[in-house]
Amino acid sequence: MSYSVKEVFYSLQGEGFHSGRPAIFCRMSKCNLWTGREADRATAVCQFCDTDFIGTDGQNGGKFTDAEALCQHLLALWPAHTEAHPFIVLTGGEPLLQVDEALITQMHLHQFEIAIETNGTKSAPDHIDWICMSPKANAPLLLESGHELKLVYPQPDLMPEKVAHLDYQTFYLQPMDDADPKVSQQNIKEAVAYCLAHPQWKLSLQTHKLLGID
């Protein structure tokens, strides 16, 4: 199987459980919750999406003929002369449109620790080391177990109590970012208040935006 990748970069994980951890980010092209046509953005399931996942023209993006070709491309970004195994975050778009057993197997042969960020609408292959699922309102939810559930908040049609019963190890609320700073601050206040009232939930901030890094 070939793989289409929008961009690849080395940075710090900015969100959730692994916040602050150095990682290679591999943003896979395509998303099943948006057709990819600019005119359809107003009717997309996640209108708050803040990433560009269309095409293969981002930094270090491209099309890769097989899993080994993609692995070699990713390994080139990990610091040399370190004993730490490479930590890879497969994201999108929706990575599970492309991530398959062949890619997972080949990455493990190269000693990658594999994390994935998914919208939960697709089943995941076995042996992914860390599954972070971010459910979206008005979208089907198939991936009901994993390691980390990260809910963008608030989504009026998907409040935390609707997913709090799912089989995940840890639960995060991430305040929805908005072009209006006042709205963003209000979302943060509401997320903080919800976490304080419901200690099952932890607060996740997009620290990469606060730091001004990828």
Half-sphere exposure of 35 (CA within 13 A, CB side): 7
Q: Is 127 a catalytic residue?
A: no
Catalytic residue among 7, 15, 94, 117: 117
Residue showing tokens 């799912």 = 166
Element of type H or E holding 106: helix 101-109
Active-site pick, 51, 85, 100, 214: 51
> Is 208 noted as a catalytic residue in this protein?
yes
Among residues 26, 31, 71, 195, which one is catalytic?
31
Q: Taking a C-beta distance cutoff of 8 angstroms, is the pair 63, 2 a contact?
A: yes
User: Is residue 147 flagged as an active site residue?
Assistant: no
Question: 178 an active-site residue?
Answer: no
Rounded (5°) CA angle 57-61-66: 130
Candidates 49, 71, 132, 195; catalytic one? 49
The residue annotated as part of the active site, out of 40, 50, 100, 214, is 50
**71 given a catalytic annotation:** no
Active site residue 49: yes
Task: Check if 50 is active-site.
Answer: yes
Query: CA 135, CA 206: separation in Å to the nearest integer?
Result: 17
Catalytic residue among 7, 15, 18, 25: 25
Residue 117 bears catalytic tag: yes
Q: Which of 46, 110, 170, 177 is catalytic?
A: 46
One DSSP character per residue, 190-213 reads HHHHHHHH-TTEEE---HHHHHT-
Residues with catalytic roles: 25, 31, 46, 49-51, 117, 208
